[in-house]
Structure 1
Amino acid sequence: MYYSHGYWIMGGILMIIFAVILIVLIVWLAARNGSWGMGSWSPGPRRDPLEIAKERYARGEITKEQFEEIKKNLMG
């Protein structure tokens, strides 16, 4: 059978379009999920360091002395 070069060109163009769509989709999903490795596009709300220390103390991750030292350092 005889195939025109038009079919080869059209197939190549469609492959390029498909690859571009696939790359755009992957980048969009990665940005949406914030999975860039070094962080996300939006940092989110900033948490109070003293609240974080209180949570860590409540979970037993730090001792009372460590909590008091952190609190003293944060308060000035």
Structure 2
Amino acid sequence: MMGPGYFGGFGMGGGSFMMIIVILVIGVLLYLAYNHKNTGNGNMMAVQPAHNLEAFEIAKSRLASGEITVEEFEQIKKYLL
């Protein structure tokens, strides 16, 4: 009936098993790529404005203390907002 290599990769059963494994691996990789793409964009959009406002406040305090010039502040402001 079943030989010693039926599920070991030599018979039809082993080839089918390997095909299922390959399809599952491809499916997992596609899922991870799709999930990473969606969560990456969502997180960046949610976090970025808070960082921009914090950086803008730091730039304002540096301008007030004289660490940067008005021109540098305007460049930073243009970049952040």
TM-score, with structure 2 as normaliser = 0.49
Unaligned stretches of 5+ residues in structure 2? none
Q: How many residues align?
A: 63
Greater gyration radius: 2
Q: CA RMSD in A?
A: 3.8
Q: 1:33: which partner in 2?
A: 39
Report the equivalent of 2:58: 56
C-alpha distance 17-73 of structure 1, shift in aligned 2 (>3 A): closer
Counterpart residue identity of residue 39, structure 2: N
Change (3 A) 1:15 1:67: same
What TM-score do you get using the length of structure 1 for normalisation? 0.52
Q: CA deviation at 1:33?
A: 1.8
CA deviations 1:10-68 (Å, max 9, x no partner) are 1111011111111011101210221xxxxx48x74996xxx653x2256x5x2403576
- In structure 1, C-alpha distance between the alignment counterparts of 2:13 and 2:76, rounded to whole Å: 71
2 CA distance for matches of 1:30 and 1:19? 16
Q: Which residue of 2 aligns with 1:16?
A: 22
Name whichever structure is richer in helix by fraction.
2
